[in-house]
Chains A and B, each alone.
Chain A
């Protein structure tokens, strides 16, 4: 078991004071198996009001923030305390095969954002791509067990791609990151999701956090000082959603904190919206994930 204190600060600086801003915040971690939210606080400077928002396109706690006063900085600080108790998944011989998973998802009667059907198709930021599909297919034999295949693909991505923040931007399409064999967590997650969906499998995009400081004697994980992204594969009704992190080539377990789940980044961006102003806008983000005690 792990207990974390998370502080996620986003600051917008406006060159010319913005008249008012309306944003969607998807910062409060959702209820998800293996994690429990103990405490949560949202602080906005210089203040504003929150209002209910439309239903999220994915699984997210969504809040509408409305700032009506003219301001040259807007700071949004999201603080959460969580307990994470999530065993590392172990592939088993009786796991459903990828063929089973694809068929079960197609026959599903659950269109909700928690069900597999919503994640079977290409989405605005993750189109299907022939090259990605072919490259991923090597790990995705239809007769292979779903968990076995998922971790194999995540590990191959981690092995074959360079972590290179200079290679891509937030809206770089997966095909481009794939061609460069480099990028950041979002690129790797998108490539993996594109490959899984091209094989007919239900795959979702997770946005969340990774513990900042590794346990003693272990290396620091990549992607820890910002929001992190990884992949969920639905593995049939019994296994449910299983998480893999292609940036680090590991399972989602007690180092990962799920904030929101969607078809892609567009469904669950931590903050999006509009502000009215005429000048440039700069955004600074800092994330701190601190383990609270060592008894996990």
Chain B
């Protein structure tokens, strides 16, 4: 057919050309894409070709796909005060930077990191910069992160900084400049990693077509650099987090997993004899280094804020004794103050003999009398902001503002305070940002961006710069930096090279990696989380089953006659006994449907499925670095809303089944998995004992026994085994006594005891620990029980003993209050 060629969709190259042409013909000034020439432009073109290929030419599709990849990886972030994580907004269009331009940035970052190191050495050491009049004392003491107890203390290895990050912007002349320095916690490198992963999955061909520099060497340098400072050759390194409510917890969890660090909270750690230990299921294990993501002032209540409850008492003493590496040294934040930027150009020249390769945006600290007068005169042409990150009285909301945008009242307030406390203010030049393309609807729009760049010190002390970092993109087209805020989009940053990246360089030297099958000792807190995650998931599933049996047998037409009222009453008792809902006013259908609805989705104090689901999610959040990404996604999925009550219950039940399948088939058989499975088994054993007890309270009817088999998911096994109708002894044998029924009680007990036998014990005397003894006692009791003699009393005893077993497991393995677990004769490793 003749018209075929004309109808064929345009190829990716044409689409990419058209996108770029449309974009650059718009009102675009100083844009990364439109200013690109030669190989730079080719790189953008290639990127857009890949986007066109993967999205069939639709930018809206591309945007959706990028978001899906980011969601898949489980990236998320939290806004302070919010309970739920927000999805990480990832733009499908990466920022393309050529290697020459990048080299300039990387050199500038290294120079800056070295300069910061030298300044820190001085202000916490000899103090010559202040005594020699190079910087005023008030510039140092003004920072809330100037920590005097850290003075004259040499960190192990001698470095103040193991990593360094800075926010850069590109001004309209194409020059890169520094907007802010980050020395406390290099927040964001995990996001850079995740962005790259998402974009690499989406734009698979890009990496090899453009020789994109890889991230792995940077992270290897960070890890090896910290490890090189430790006293042991195979050190245990932790990432110290403030916990799951922290804004960037998802990033921290991801980073910990990628680096192979233990994700630990202050409560997991303990200092004994100036040595740091983590509480694990195998007792106290020594920690050699901590990459900290905790406010330094909260780190150690004995050295800094004595009210801190998230810190580790004695941590700084351990550091002072050279027994733990804290990275970065908890005093580096003093240089983050904007006021310091005012002195950096002069300090660079003096201390390195060179000008700053990456200049700051021009900054004036008003603590100097002449400078203050200058800022006051030029206020309308400047940005004015807090000098030390603390809101001064004249800028109540603590943010930098354009002098020209102040109202008369605001200006009066500001000038009055500027006269009294000039040291609290800096003036800054108003920078304009270059833009980059972002997919918006089905087209590209230009938006201003900033770039966060990361450097880490390798094992020889040399700096390694992450090629790329991540870009934050503003929502507002106004290019003035101050208006961008935190940005509302992020993008991967690709540094493309002329030569292929040597793949060998990414592989460790042969023989240097010690094989291991277990990711290291399990911290007690993680064991606790995994155990309770298992219990709650199983509890939710059991409750759902009761709800489904109740609904299915009382209202559905196709399952035949409704159950006898006495049997229905048992089901109702199971639900009310679990605290899932208030008892229904009657057993008629409408009342039961409302009752089931409350048990499924009730809000408030009730232990409804919804509430249990929420608990499971919160706990899963607390240990997400141990869970498969698919499990995290299922846990985070919103509560079902579509369809009728039975549909919603069914959809949820399928989700629970999927979670059970994932944990059974996809989780490596580590101790973390053992605790998860242990939790499931303990909960299921308790559920079975409880259900059987309720149904055996009086002589069970035929309906009772059928329903019980249904609840225990054992109807099919029963029918395969017994051709006759349902009778008490065979049913109880199958549900309670038969160790071959995977849904039965005996099977759970055997599984529990197998786990308890395999988990670490504290002593080597061969005597059973309390939780092992309790598990074996339950098994013994069950093994001699004959189905005919199993009654409500025996089941009640088993239920209680299982509760005590759970307590014994908690006491032995989990964190208990403030008291550190110290086993008798335990050797501290």
Indicate, yes or no, whether A interacts with B: yes
Question: In the assembly, what is the distance between CA of A109 and CA of B127, in Å?
Answer: 10
Name the distance in Å between B151's Cβ and chain A's nearest Cβ: 5
Residues of A within 8 A of B423 (CB): 106, 120-121, 200
Is B350 an interface residue, CB under 8 A from the partner? no
Contact present for A111 and B317 (CB under 8 Å): no
Residues of A within 8 A of B420 (CB): 133, 198-200
Is A223 an interface residue, CB under 8 A from the partner? no
Is B753 an interface residue, CB under 8 A from the partner? no
Name the distance in Å between B468's Cβ and chain A's nearest Cβ: 38
Question: In the assembly, what is the distance between CA of A274 and CA of B144, in Å?
Answer: 24
Chain A, residue nearest B319 (CB) = A54
Contact present for B151 and A55 (CB under 8 Å): yes
Residues of B within 8 A of A64 (CB): 302, 317
Is B786 an interface residue, CB under 8 A from the partner? no
Is A277 an interface residue, CB under 8 A from the partner? yes
Residues of B within 8 A of A120 (CB): 138, 141-142, 423
Chain A, residue nearest B388 (CB) = A121
- Of A2-10, A122-130, A147-155, A232-240, the one touching chain B: A122-130
Question: In the assembly, what is the distance between CA of A113 and CA of B369, in Å?
Answer: 24
Question: In the assembly, what is the distance between CA of A154 and CA of B818, in Å?
Answer: 44
B148, B393, B424: the one contacting A57 at CB < 8 Å is B148
> Chain A binding site: helix, strand, loop or mixed by DSSP?
loop
Contact present for B138 and A54 (CB under 8 Å): no
Chain A, residue nearest B816 (CB) = A278
Interface residues of A in 122-181 (CB under 8 A from B): 122, 124, 128, 130, 133
Contact present for B137 and A273 (CB under 8 Å): no
Residues of B within 8 A of A19 (CB): 819
Is A276 an interface residue, CB under 8 A from the partner? yes
Question: In the assembly, what is the distance between CA of A124 and CA of B298, in Å?
Answer: 12
Residues of B within 8 A of A94 (CB): none
Name the distance in Å between B672's Cβ and chain A's nearest Cβ: 27
Residues of B within 8 A of A130 (CB): 393
Contact present for A117 and B140 (CB under 8 Å): yes
Residues of B within 8 A of A115 (CB): 137
Is A39 an interface residue, CB under 8 A from the partner? no
Name the distance in Å between B100's Cβ and chain A's nearest Cβ: 42
Per-position contact with A for B331-368: 1 when CB-CB < 8 Å, else 0? 00000000000000000000000000000000000011
Question: In the assembly, what is the distance between CA of A269 and CA of B808, in Å?
Answer: 41
Name the distance in Å between A190's Cβ and chain B's nearest Cβ: 16
Given A56-B149, A106-B138, A117-B138, residue A274 in contact with residue B313 (CB < 8 A): yes
Is A103 an interface residue, CB under 8 A from the partner? yes
Is B404 an interface residue, CB under 8 A from the partner? no
B130, B153, B314, B392: the one contacting A22 at CB < 8 Å is B314
A109, A122, A269: the one contacting B131 at CB < 8 Å is A109
Name the distance in Å between A251's Cβ and chain B's nearest Cβ: 25
Name the distance in Å between A114's Cβ and chain B's nearest Cβ: 11
Question: In the assembly, what is the distance between CA of A130 and CA of B817, in Å?
Answer: 42
Is A107 an interface residue, CB under 8 A from the partner? yes
**Which interface residue of B153, B388, B819 has the most chain A CB atoms within 10 A?**
B819
Contact present for A55 and B148 (CB under 8 Å): yes
Interface size band for B: 35 or more
**Which interface residue of B136, B144, B152, B316 has the most chain A CB atoms within 10 A?**
B136
Is B421 an interface residue, CB under 8 A from the partner? yes
Is B562 an interface residue, CB under 8 A from the partner? no
Question: In the assembly, what is the distance between CA of A101 and CA of B302, in Å?
Answer: 34
Question: In the assembly, what is the distance between CA of A198 and CA of B316, in Å?
Answer: 33
Is B155 an interface residue, CB under 8 A from the partner? no
Contact present for B131 and A117 (CB under 8 Å): no
Question: In the assembly, what is the distance between CA of A202 and CA of B653, in Å?
Answer: 66
Given A54-B316, A107-B136, residue A118 in contact with residue B141 (CB < 8 A): yes
Residues of A within 8 A of B820 (CB): 276
Residues of A within 8 A of B303 (CB): 54
Per-position contact with A for B417-433: 1 when CB-CB < 8 Å, else 0? 00011111000000000
Chain B, residue nearest A130 (CB) = B393
Per-position contact with B for A192-231: 1 when CB-CB < 8 Å, else 0? 0000011110000000000000000000000000000000
Q: Which residues of A contact B (CB under 8 A)?
A: 19, 22, 24, 53-58, 64, 103, 105-111, 113, 115, 117-118, 120-122, 124, 128, 130, 133, 197-200, 266, 269, 272-274, 276-278
Q: Which residues of B contact A (CB under 8 A)?
A: 123, 127, 130-131, 133, 136-138, 140-142, 144, 147-153, 297, 301-303, 305-306, 313-314, 316-317, 320, 367-369, 388, 390, 392-393, 420-424, 817-820
Q: What 16 new A-B contacts, CB under 8 Å, besides A22-B313, A54-B316, A197-B421?
A: A22-B314, A54-B149, A55-B150, A103-B369, A106-B423, A111-B123, A111-B140, A121-B423, A121-B424, A124-B297, A128-B393, A266-B306, A269-B306, A272-B306, A273-B301, A277-B818
Residue contacts A-B, CB under 8 angstroms, 8 given: A57-B147, A103-B369, A106-B138, A106-B369, A111-B130, A198-B393, A200-B423, A276-B818
- The 8 A-B residue pairs whose C-beta atoms are closest, nearest first, are A117-B137, A111-B137, A272-B306, A54-B149, A117-B138, A117-B141, A118-B141, A274-B313
